[in-house]
Amino acid sequence: MNEQTTIRQRLRVTGVVQGVGFRPTVYQLATSLDLGGFVGNDSAGVFIELEGRLTAIDEFVLRLQDDPPPLAHIDSVDRTDIPVSGDGEFVIVESRKDDRATTLVSPDLEVCADCLLEMNDPDDRRYRYPFINCTNCGPRFTITREIPYDRPLTTMASFVMCAACRAEYDDPANRRFHAQPNACPDCGPHIWLEREDIEPVEGVIAEARRRIAAGEIVAIKGIGGFHLACDARNAAAVATLRERKHRTAKPFAVMAADPATTEVIADLDDAERALLESPQRPIVLVTESVASDLVDGIAPGNNRIGVMLPYAPLHHLLLEPGDVWVMTSANYASEPIVKDNEDARTKLRELADTLLLHDRAIHVHCDDSVVRIAAGAELPIRRSRGFAPFPVRLPTPVPPTLAVGGELKATFCLAAGDNAFMSQHIGDMENLETLEAFAAAVAHMIGLFRIQPELIVADLHPRYLSTRWAEDHFGERVVHVQHHHAHIASVMAENSHIGPVIGFSFDGTGYGTDGTIWGGEILIGNLDGFFRAGHLGVAQLVGGDAAVKRPYRMALSHLHAAGVAWDPGLPAVARASGEEQRIIRQQLETGLNSVETTSVGRLFDAVASLAGVRHEISYEGQAAIELEALGLPDATGSYRFELVDRDEAVTLDPTPVIRAVAADVVAGAPAAAISMRFHRALADAVVASAREMQRRYHIETAALSGGVFQNVTLLEAAKRGLEESGFTVLTHRLVPPNDGGLALGQVALAGRR
């Protein structure tokens, strides 16, 4: 075949290729290279046929891969020769719906710079239009009911495009060619204030701003649900919001108007700046600046605040330079975020003074994501809007699998082949509303990715709602995996590491294979199995849940285990009445109404209470978060865990730590120094036990997972220490170390069975 011969090839492109301006790019490229043929979408991705010279087709493929549209992500391009058919022209053909394969759906992304320019241009027909978008930006996941991603299958189906919008939509040279949510003030969604007669955009925005300035709480419908907003510099408004939400201390996220405003309220490094301004627009946990004038009620007892930048065009219209608003998910404590107008009218009536609504329906809820920077890299705390449902690649392919996750911070994972689709954040699976949101999200993802799960995976805990839901729906087919093994598997999977590893799985609670509560586990294993090679020394959880909500009970328990007398000079001891002490002592001595635990989370609670930092908590992890927040990097000294060899397993005995903390408290050492010494001791214990494991099992890779490793002070110190000792260290970058990442590990484990 010579170079001048006309040939025809069929190309199959997979990846994030729908709803991201892919077909117009293909059209322009093909036309510029004088190629005939067509391009279209189907359930498997993008199909292309090209007719022309081989050199032109080669160049087409090269340029497509080198310079894809901004939101696209090409996984593969397959090429096959087919007979020539004489096509001189190149056209875009209708989408095809078929049931064969999985295609990727883009996450919801911030409004792009081009759209913002138009929105701020008084001569543009979309001047100050809150729903401006194009193929390079805007909502995707939350408006898509089904694939292929086409307007009739999105929540934009009810809006009929005007002639001007239609012309853009049909023009392959236009930035809005086949932009499914394309709209304008004449034909698209609009905003309004409930129970008011204000409709024009300007009136609504001005009135909403006036109300925020007056100290009111405004519920604002966004991309993945409603926010409750108020002025972050108004102490009374923030206090009212806490009171109405029954949320006493858990930090509120804020939205700052622009990057310059974030610099005033926070001390940022380059990695944090980049993350704040990334198209995913997550909430970034950053250090509050000394100059910050936000009220203390935003994040009580915490030097870190969750900050995000505007991402919906509506946010850009609402916030003006210098503004910082609380923007917290609109829900009651542990219920899912409210997303529908009807729900907002009933459920938010008592939470918000005003409702700012719009008529573009949100098909599935999607909370804001939360990310921290640790050791210069991203550490997800909650992976949701902007990230879901972009898949995590699995190290080995799995059959169609649904993993239902854990209980708190629940997410699930739908997987097939090497794609693991982690769901958006669902919430704490403790009530019917959350379970219903979970079931709806599962059904949505099954429809979206056409994966009918053959394998179902759940946690070993018999009382988790997720486990019970799986058993109710799938009965015998459910495979159970151990919680801490799943944590380690999740960090292995996202690092494409198959094993073996020395796994440090530290969290608050998880069901152990011996029926006790685990949470300070050293596991040796890989994706095929594990054994418990070590753990934190055992303490008693007296009164079950009561001990979790009251860290001083954990302090008494750890003092008891360490053989330290309950000195009334210790704040933790003084916190319990004589009668309560008598009951706790009895439970500790008889084991009645108490469970054994090796939880590192509970050890953090005990130390926080001993140091006088926090005796009772109102949200999960509060004591540990406040203890970390206090830590002074320049405080000297460290405590030391003892490594004890018991029955083949190593115990990290906290006795000397508890004794030293108690002695420091009695001697009047500042809580910040105690915090620092404790963090160092735990990091040192990780390194020392990793070396012992390496000596025994000759493994050079350590894996850190579990909710305790959201603690960046501990994570960075442990990672540094391990690397200095020559270990390769696996940490989380794609999914959270907490139970929000559990489902990925469940998939990775079950796929190997």
Kindly list the residues in this chain that would bind Fe ion in the complex (CB under 5 A): 507, 510, 739
Nearest to 305 by CA among 257, 256, 341, 339: 256
**165 binds Zn ion, rule: CB under 5 A:** yes
Q: How far is the CB of 52 from Fe ion (least distance, A)?
A: 56
Report the partner that residue 137 touches, choosing among Fe ion, Zn ion, none (CB closer than 5 to 8 A by kind).
Answer: Zn ion
Report the partner that residue 681 touches, choosing among Zn ion, Fe ion, none (CB closer than 5 to 8 A by kind).
Answer: none
Report the partner that residue 64 touches, choosing among Fe ion, Zn ion, none (CB closer than 5 to 8 A by kind).
Answer: none
Distance between CA atoms of residues 647 and 658, nearest Å: 24
Report the partner that residue 583 touches, choosing among Zn ion, Fe ion, none (CB closer than 5 to 8 A by kind).
Answer: none
Q: How far is the CB of 437 from Fe ion (least distance, A)?
A: 21
Choose which of 112, 205, 223, 559 interacts with Zn ion (CB under 5 A).
112
The pair of three-digit structure tokens given for residue 355, joined into one six-digit string = 């409702």
Tell me which stretch binds Zn ion (CB under 5 A): 86-94, 111-119, 542-550, 588-596: 111-119
Residue 482 near residue 529 (C-beta atoms within 8 A): no
The pair of three-digit structure tokens given for residue 238, joined into one six-digit string = 């923030």
Report the partner that residue 134 touches, choosing among Fe ion, Zn ion, none (CB closer than 5 to 8 A by kind).
Answer: Zn ion
The pair of three-digit structure tokens given for residue 212, joined into one six-digit string = 């925020």
Report the partner that residue 428 touches, choosing among Zn ion, Fe ion, none (CB closer than 5 to 8 A by kind).
Answer: none
Report the partner that residue 505 touches, choosing among Fe ion, Zn ion, none (CB closer than 5 to 8 A by kind).
Answer: none
- Dihedral of alpha carbons 488, 494, 499, 504, sign: negative
Site residues (CB under 5 A) for Zn ion, limited to 418-477: none
For Fe ion, which is the closer residue by CB, 251 or 740? 740
Tell me which stretch binds Zn ion (CB under 5 A): 8-16, 60-68, 164-172, 507-515: 164-172
Find residue 272's DSSP bridge partners: none
For Fe ion, which is the closer residue by CB, 68 or 510? 510
Q: How far is the CB of 178 from Zn ion (least distance, A)?
A: 14
For Fe ion, which is the closer residue by CB, 99 or 514? 514
Report the partner that residue 115 touches, choosing among Zn ion, Fe ion, none (CB closer than 5 to 8 A by kind).
Answer: Zn ion
The pair of three-digit structure tokens given for residue 237, joined into one six-digit string = 């408004």
Task: Name the DSSP class of 602.
Answer: H
Nearest to 305 by CA among 291, 286, 322, 324: 286
For Fe ion, which is the closer residue by CB, 507 or 653? 507
Q: How far is the CB of 519 from Fe ion (least distance, A)?
A: 7
Distance between CA atoms of residues 664 and 672, nearest Å: 11
Q: Cα 294 to chain center, whole Å?
A: 25
Q: How far is the CB of 730 from Fe ion (least distance, A)?
A: 17
Q: How far is the CB of 260 from Zn ion (least distance, A)?
A: 22
For Fe ion, which is the closer residue by CB, 7 or 595? 595
Nearest to 537 by CA among 623, 606, 621: 606
Site residues (CB under 5 A) for Zn ion, limited to 619-648: none
Tell me which stretch binds Zn ion (CB under 5 A): 109-117, 429-437, 547-555, 744-752: 109-117
Report the partner that residue 507 touches, choosing among Zn ion, Fe ion, none (CB closer than 5 to 8 A by kind).
Answer: Fe ion
Report the partner that residue 216 touches, choosing among Fe ion, Zn ion, none (CB closer than 5 to 8 A by kind).
Answer: none
First-to-last alpha carbon distance for the chain, in angstroms, is: 49
Q: How far is the CB of 493 from Fe ion (least distance, A)?
A: 16
**186 binds Zn ion, rule: CB under 5 A:** yes
Choose which of 54, 61, 77, 187 interacts with Zn ion (CB under 5 A).
187
**109 binds Zn ion, rule: CB under 5 A:** no
Tell me which stretch binds Zn ion (CB under 5 A): 34-42, 155-163, 234-242, 646-654: 155-163
For Fe ion, which is the closer residue by CB, 216 or 739? 739
Residue 567 near residue 666 (C-beta atoms within 8 A): yes
Report the partner that residue 165 touches, choosing among Fe ion, Zn ion, none (CB closer than 5 to 8 A by kind).
Answer: Zn ion
For Fe ion, which is the closer residue by CB, 179 or 747? 747
Residue in the shown chain whose Cβ atom is closest to Fe ion: 507
Residue 519 near residue 536 (C-beta atoms within 8 A): yes
**184 binds Zn ion, rule: CB under 5 A:** yes
Write the single-letter amino acid at 154.
Answer: T
Choose which of 101, 162, 440, 498 interacts with Zn ion (CB under 5 A).
162
Q: Site mask, Zn ion, residues 114-143, x = CB under 5 A?
A: -x------------------x-xx------
Distance between CA atoms of residues 363 and 182, nearest Å: 17
Q: How far is the CB of 750 from Zn ion (least distance, A)?
A: 40
**16 binds Zn ion, rule: CB under 5 A:** no
Site size for Zn ion (CB under 5 A)? 10
Distance between CA atoms of residues 498 and 752, nearest Å: 11
Residue 503 near residue 519 (C-beta atoms within 8 A): no
User: What is the number of H-type helices and E-type strands within the chain?
Assistant: 23, 29
Write the single-letter amino acid at 350.
Answer: E
Angle at 723 between CA 717 and CA 728, to 5 degrees: 120
Distance between CA atoms of residues 684 and 661, nearest Å: 16
For Zn ion, which is the closer residue by CB, 106 or 434? 106
Tell me which stretch binds Zn ion (CB under 5 A): 162-170, 307-315, 494-502, 649-657: 162-170
Q: What are phi and psi of 311, to 5 degrees?
A: -130, -35
The pair of three-digit structure tokens given for residue 32, joined into one six-digit string = 């510029």
Max alpha carbon distance in the chain (Å)? Answer: 96
Q: What are phi and psi of 490, to 5 degrees?
A: -70, -40
For Fe ion, which is the closer residue by CB, 21 or 520? 520
For Zn ion, which is the closer residue by CB, 162 or 643? 162
Q: How far is the CB of 640 from Zn ion (least distance, A)?
A: 56
Residue 260 near residue 323 (C-beta atoms within 8 A): no
Residue 478 near residue 710 (C-beta atoms within 8 A): no
Q: How far is the CB of 505 from Fe ion (least distance, A)?
A: 8
Q: How far is the CB of 106 from Zn ion (least distance, A)?
A: 13
For Fe ion, which is the closer residue by CB, 378 or 507? 507
Q: How far is the CB of 380 from Fe ion (least distance, A)?
A: 15
Dihedral, CA of residue 125, residue 128, residue 131 and residue 137, to nearest 10: 90
**223 binds Zn ion, rule: CB under 5 A:** no
Distance between CA atoms of residues 261 and 305, nearest Å: 14
| DSSP class per residue in 669-716 | --HHHHHHHHHHHHHHHHHHHHHHHHHHH---EEEEESGGGG-HHHHH
Q: How far is the CB of 636 from Zn ion (least distance, A)?
A: 53
For Fe ion, which is the closer residue by CB, 461 or 679? 461
Report the partner that residue 184 touches, choosing among Fe ion, Zn ion, none (CB closer than 5 to 8 A by kind).
Answer: Zn ion
For Fe ion, which is the closer residue by CB, 102 or 482? 482
Q: How far is the CB of 709 from Fe ion (least distance, A)?
A: 10
Report the partner that residue 105 touches, choosing among Zn ion, Fe ion, none (CB closer than 5 to 8 A by kind).
Answer: none
Q: How far is the CB of 155 from Fe ion (least distance, A)?
A: 35
Beta strands at 45-53 and 6-16: parallel, antiparallel or unpaired: antiparallel
Q: Cα 753 to chain center, whole Å?
A: 27
Distance between CA atoms of residues 525 and 645, nearest Å: 19
For Fe ion, which is the closer residue by CB, 265 or 600? 600
Cβ neighbours of 485 (radius 10 Å): 25
Distance between CA atoms of residues 271 and 635, nearest Å: 26
Residue 525 near residue 536 (C-beta atoms within 8 A): no
Write the single-letter amino acid at 328.
Answer: T
Distance between CA atoms of residues 90 and 154, nearest Å: 27
Tell me which residues touch Zn ion (CB under 5 A): 112, 115, 134, 136-137, 162, 165, 184, 186-187
